[in-house]
Amino acid sequence: MVVADLDCSVGITLLFVSMVISTVADAQHHNELGCHSMEFQLNDLPRNDFNRCAVVPSKQISKLIAARVSEVLLLLAMKLEHDFHMAIGEAEDNYANNSRLQRKALLKTKPVLDKAVRQVCMALHPRAMIVADLGCSVGANTLLFVSDVVNTVADAQHHDELRCHPMELQFFLNDLSGNDFNQVFKSVKQFTKSIAASHPKGVALPPFYISGLPGSYYTRLFPCQSVHLFHSSYCLHWRSQMIKDMDEKMSDINGGNIYIAKSTPPSVVKMFQDQFQKDMSLFLKLRHQELVPGGQMLLTFLGRKKEGVLDGDLSHLCALLAEALQALVTEGLVEREKLESFNLPLYGPSIDEVKAVIALNKLFGIDHIQLFESNWDPYDDMENDGMCSSPEHGVNVAKSIRAVFEPLLASHFGECILDELFQRYARNVERHLAEDNTKYSPSAPHCFTHPHTDTERNSDRNKLWMVSELQV
C-alpha cells in the first residue's frame, strides 16, 4: 500500500502517518483485511526541511502509533544514525567537492549499469520501473546515476529495443538520516532542466520521479518484490555498527589502531570479519525479499585483491590516519582512551570472502567478477597528471578521506582537532607515496550473480543480480 502526503511540511507531518497506520492496524486486528506493508511518500516543495522529517527517532514515531501496529511495515527512518554521513555544508572539505574517486567508479561501472537497465526493461516490461540507489549521499554523483538510467531507457525506447509501452521511472534515493536530503532535493529542478537540455533532439526522455528514502540498508526499506533495480556505489564496505558497539570489553585492545593493522590481535580481526559476514548476509537477505523476480542489482564497494587481511590499501590508508592520531595523543591533544575506544566501522573483503558469504546464504550464485584499481590521489591519471607535486598528492588524498570520515571523527574526538589531524595525515600520505608510489590495489569487481532460491525449480522466476566490488 503506497500512501502519499502532498504538501507534508514538517512538525505534525507524522501525525498523518500515525493515523493511517493505526487505521490499517485496527482493520487487520478485526480481520477486516489481510496483512499489508505500507510505504509513505512525503511530498513538498524543495525548500521544505526534509532533513527534519528524516531524523525523527523511532521512539517518537512509536509514541504516535498504537502498540499493535507492529504488524505493519513502516518504511520511514527507523533509527537515528546522525553521525554516520558524508561531510556536508558549503565548506571546501565537504563531500560534494571531494568525491572524484567515487565519480570515477560510477563512470567505470556505467557499461554494466547500462546492461542491467536494458535487461530489466526487456525481461520485465514494467510500466513504472522502480530504481533504488542505496547510500546515495549528496552532490553531483547522486544525480549522475539517475541521469545514466534515464538516458539508457530513453535510448532503448528510441531504438525500439523494448518493444513495449512507454515506461516511467521512479527513483528512490536512500541514505542514513544524517544525509543532507535538503540539498539533494534543491538540486533536482536544475538537474531536470540540465538533462533535458543535454539530451539529443528527437529522443524523448521517459517521465521520471525522484524520492528520498532515509534509513539503513541493513533494514527493510521496501515492500516485498517491489524494486526492479538496486544500485549501490562505495557503500557496502561500511559495517552496520562500530567494533565498540559489539563488545565494549574488546574495544581497547587494538593497540591504538582504528582499523586492521599489523599489530591488531587476531581476535579483533575476527570481529571485523564476523561483522562483515553478518552484515552482508543480512543485506542479501533483505534485498532478495524486496527485489522483483527478474530484477537486478549492481553494487560497487571497496575490497582487496589478495587474501591477506593486511594487504588491502584500506589498511594502509587507515594506518596512516591512526599514526596522525597517535601523534596527537603523544602531544596531549587527544586522550589516549579516546583513541583506544575508536575503530572505524569498515571492512574491505577479498573476493573469496564475498563468494563465501554468497555460498553460505544459498540465495545467489556468482556469474562474473571484474577487478580494477585507481591511484590514491583522485586527481591522478587525469589529463594534467604529473602537474601535481608530491605534497599536493598528500593534500588531495587527505581531502578525499576527510570528506568521508569527518563526521565520525568529529563525533568521537571533537571538531577542534580535525584541521591539525588532516594536515598531519596529508604529510604521512605524502611520505608514503614518495616511498612506495602506491595505488589502491584492488578492486573490486563487477560481480554478476543470480539467486538459487526457486530458480532451478521454477524457470519463470529467473533473476540476474549484479554485484560490483571496487577497491580504489
Please say if the pLDDT value at position 168 is more than 90.
Answer: yes
Please say if the pLDDT value at position 183 is more than 70.
Answer: yes
Residue 252 grid cell: 581497547
In DSSP notation, 18-79 reads HHHHHHHHHHHHTTSS---EEEEEE---TTS-HHHHHT--HHHHHHHS-GGGGGSEE-S--S
Q: What structural domains and CATH numbers belong to the chain?
A: 2-74 (no CATH), 95-468 (3.40.50.150)
Residue 141 Cα to chain centre, angstroms: 12
| Better pLDDT: 175 or 364 | 175
pLDDT at 289: 92
What is the tens place of the pLDDT at every residue in 283-332? 999 999 999 988 888 888 888 888 888 877 889 999 999 999 999 999 99
Please say if the pLDDT value at position 57 is more than 80.
Answer: no
The C-alpha torsion from 170 through 171 and 172 to 174, rounded to 10°, is 170
- Report the C-alpha gap between 236 and 250 in whole angstroms: 24
CA-based nearest residue to 169, from 191, 186, 182, 150: 150
Distance spanning both ends of the chain, measured CA to CA:
41
DSSP letter for 234, please. Answer: S
Q: What percentage of the chain exceeds 70 in pLDDT?
A: 74
pLDDT at 287: 93
Please say if the pLDDT value at position 151 is more than 90.
Answer: yes
pLDDT at 259: 93
| Least confident range of 37-51, 54-68, 220-234, 242-256 | 54-68
- Report the C-alpha gap between 472 and 466 in whole angstroms: 19
* Single-letter amino acid, residue 17: V
- Report the C-alpha gap between 470 and 247 in whole angstroms: 29
- Spatial CB neighbours of 11, under 8 Å, sequence gap ≥ 6: none
- Report the C-alpha gap between 372 and 392 in whole angstroms: 24
Please say if the pLDDT value at position 242 is more than 80.
Answer: no
- Report the C-alpha gap between 314 and 238 in whole angstroms: 12
Please say if the pLDDT value at position 58 is more than 70.
Answer: no
- Report the C-alpha gap between 75 and 148 in whole angstroms: 26
What is the tens place of the pLDDT at every residue in 107-123? 888 988 998 899 899 88
Mean pLDDT of 151-173: 86
Residue 318 grid cell: 587507515
Mean pLDDT of 172-186: 87
Between the ranges 212-226, 245-259, 294-308, where is the mean pLDDT highest?
Answer: 212-226
What is the tens place of the pLDDT at every residue in 410-447? 988 999 999 999 999 999 999 988 877 555 533 444 44
Mean pLDDT of 258-270: 91
| Least confident range of 39-43, 46-50, 172-176 | 46-50
Q: Give residue 52's pLDDT band: very low, low, confident or very high (50, 70, 90).
A: low
Q: What percentage of the chain exceeds 90 in pLDDT?
A: 28
In the sheet that holds 208-214, the strands lie side by side as 208-214, 168-175, 128-134, 227-233, 291-300
∠245-246-250 over CA atoms, to 5°? Answer: 100
CA-based nearest residue to 185, from 142, 221, 134: 142
What is the tens place of the pLDDT at every residue in 368-396? 677 777 778 777 764 444 445 578 888 88
Please say if the pLDDT value at position 170 is more than 90.
Answer: yes
Q: Give residue 220's pLDDT band: very low, low, confident or very high (50, 70, 90).
A: very high
| Least confident range of 8-22, 268-282, 400-414 | 8-22
Please say if the pLDDT value at position 459 is more than 80.
Answer: no
Residue 273 grid cell: 570479519
Please say if the pLDDT value at position 90 is more than 60.
Answer: no
Which ranges constitute the DSSP H helices of 343-389? 351-361
Residue 467 grid cell: 554485484
Length of the chain: 472
Give phi and psi for 115, each to the nearest 5. Answer: -65, -40
